[in-house]
Amino acid sequence: MTDVEGKRHVVAVIGAGPAGIYAARKLAEAGHVVVLLNRDIKPGGLAEYGIFFDKEKMKEGLRKQFKRILSDPKVFYFGHVTVGQGKAVALEELQRIGFSAIVVSAGAQGTKKLGIPGEDCLSVYHAKDVVYHYNKLPPFSQRPYEVGRRVAIIGMGNVMVDVANWLLNYKKVSEVTVVARRGPKEKAYDDSEFEVVEQYLDNEDMRREIQRIAPRLEVVGQNVEEILKTFVKETVPPADCKLRFRYLCSPHQVIADNQGKVAALEVEVNDLVLDGERTVAKGTGQLSRIDLDCVIYAIGDQVDSAIGLPFSRGAFVTSPDKLPGDPSPSLYQPYDPGTGKVLEGLYLVGWSRNASVGLVGVAKKDAETGMKVVNNYLASKEGFASAVIDQKIATLVNKLEANKASFVTKQDIELLEAVEKEEARKRETWEYKFSTDEEMLTVISAKREQPLQVAVANGPVGKS
């Protein structure tokens, strides 16, 4: 522990998803004060608003862990605070307050597109937005997602499975078609995850589809008999609700009807070619049409450039060179290609460092490794007396108030959770979530026994 007067640091962590919260734990364990700034009212990020809503055990387990970490008196939580230019607080404003370091763990909030004609037409959606919608994250919770009867999902990972689960088991659409650039063997979803939608698999269609692409699979040495055995099951899907796959197809254009809504997806048929050990899709120029009502992109996301860090091709820029140290700080630090230098005191972890890669365990490990770098950096710097740290937090509170940000604290989250738990009990469901910020803020301010204040070591700060 470096819990010694004058050696303690205060670190701002932007984003309280798994990466930010596990980072906060490592920083607090080293004796530092952590200020978590989170866009959403509630903490948890995609653990709260991404993981499928019926995974009760997993979600409750993570919530408990997060609550324990946030309960550390050295960890301050400011929810409903978006960091960015023109938002609740700008990155430069945080830098001016003089945090010892700033960790960006804001996930991958930018939307990735394919750049094909027609993709901006009505009823083309991005999986992240749909997932936020059914997990009740404002404002997505309030937006209508008109999916119709026939939906194509682009992409073949676990997020595709979650979206198909929602469409087939909850929206009761009649047809979900998964469109994948490569073949069945290149699937990126886990078989255990797929079980929730397997009953809808149109096995006759799957057999025809594999036979259609068989010559292209054989060219790259894939065993078609084995693939048929693995992917064609004995089960018969319900007549009015089917899941199909269109392999070796890349989206070419979205065709709209005369009201500007999705009518079809035109795809280009691909060959498979070998690139070393890897199989790669290569367009043949041959086009084919799938009639549809909705297209959902489940192709991963990109980071949000509005946070204000150097950005290129969907990611924050990091140094092309490894810096001395194990782990190398350059893997975790944003880098300015203009000056050729890493940005001192700024760090990236989780999906902000590596967009849409891995489960919660991966984000946790990334945060923990990243905090080794941050804690090494902090150990090399003079820290602050606790009165100075209090002053920095007070300056942040004043800034948020001046910017008219209606932020909430971890005590507020406990008040909100108690009310939601009581609602769930009344409705005999395992959880109940308010689905607008207004409702959550109203509940919180009604339950607060005194005006909002943030309790720092030497007394409360904020409106009194």
Ligand X SMILES: Cc1cc2nc3c(=O)[nH]c(=O)nc-3n(C[C@H](O)[C@H](O)[C@H](O)COP(=O)(O)OP(=O)(O)OC[C@H]3O[C@@H](n4cnc5c(N)ncnc54)[C@H](O)[C@@H]3O)c2cc1C
- Considering the rule CB under 6 A, would residue 437 count as an interface residue with ligand X? no
- Of 363 and 416, which has the nearer Cβ to ligand X? 363
Q: Which stretch binds ligand X (CB under 6 A): 12-20, 208-216, 224-232, 403-411?
A: 12-20
3-class secondary structure for the chain? Answer: CCCCCCCECEEEEECCCHHHHHHHHHHHHCCCEEEEEECCCCCCCHHHHCCCCCCHHHHHHHHHHHHHHHCCCCEEEEECCCECCCCCECHHHHHHHCCCEEEECCCCCECCCCCCCCCCCECEEEHHHHHHHHCCCCCHHHCCCCCCCEEEEECCCHHHHHHHHHHHHHCCCCEEEEECCCCHHHCCCCHHHHHHHHCCECHHHHHHHHHHHHHHHHHCCCCHHHHHHHHCCCCCCCCCCEEEEECCEEEEEEEECCCCEEEEEEEEEEEEEEECCEEEEEEEEEEEEEECCEEEECCCCECCHHHCCCEECCEECECCCCCCCCCCHHHCCEEECCCCEECCCEEECHHHCCCCCCCHHHHHHHHHHHHHHHHHHHHCCCCECHHHHHHHHHHHHHHHHHCCCCCECHHHHHHHHHHHHHHHHHHCCCCCCCCCHHHHHHHHHHHCCCCCCEEECCEEECCC
- Considering the rule CB under 6 A, would residue 107 count as an interface residue with ligand X? yes
- Of 155 and 350, which has the nearer Cβ to ligand X? 350
- Considering the rule CB under 6 A, would residue 390 count as an interface residue with ligand X? no
Q: Which stretch binds ligand X (CB under 6 A): 8-16, 171-179, 225-233, 331-339?
A: 8-16
Which of 39, 133, 244, 410 touches ligand X by CB under 6 A? 39
Instruction: Kindly state the number of chain residues that form the binding site for ligand X, as judged by CB under 6 A.
Output: 36
- Considering the rule CB under 6 A, would residue 318 count as an interface residue with ligand X? no
Euclidean distance between CA atoms 279 and 185, whole angstroms: 10
Restricted to residues 284-313, the positions that interact with ligand X (CB under 6 A) are 304, 307
Name the minimum Å distance from CB 135 to ligand X.
Answer: 8
- Considering the rule CB under 6 A, would residue 110 count as an interface residue with ligand X? no
- Considering the rule CB under 6 A, would residue 130 count as an interface residue with ligand X? no
Euclidean distance between CA atoms 282 and 284, whole angstroms: 7
Name the minimum Å distance from CB 51 to ligand X.
Answer: 4
The site string for ligand X over 361-380 (x = CB under 6 A, - otherwise) reads -xx-----------------
Which of 26, 30, 38, 244 touches ligand X by CB under 6 A? 38
Which of 33, 51, 269, 303 touches ligand X by CB under 6 A? 51
Name the minimum Å distance from CB 354 to ligand X.
Answer: 8
Which of 100, 109, 319, 391 touches ligand X by CB under 6 A? 109
- Considering the rule CB under 6 A, would residue 47 count as an interface residue with ligand X? yes
The site string for ligand X over 14-33 (x = CB under 6 A, - otherwise) reads xxxxxxx-------------
Which of 131, 232, 295, 296 touches ligand X by CB under 6 A? 131
Which of 31, 84, 283, 460 touches ligand X by CB under 6 A? 84
Name the minimum Å distance from CB 304 to ligand X.
Answer: 6
- Considering the rule CB under 6 A, would residue 334 count as an interface residue with ligand X? no
- Considering the rule CB under 6 A, would residue 351 count as an interface residue with ligand X? yes
User: Applying CB under 6 A, which residues contact ligand X?
Assistant: 14-20, 37-40, 45-47, 50-51, 55, 82-84, 105-107, 109, 131, 159, 162, 304, 307, 350-351, 358-360, 362-363
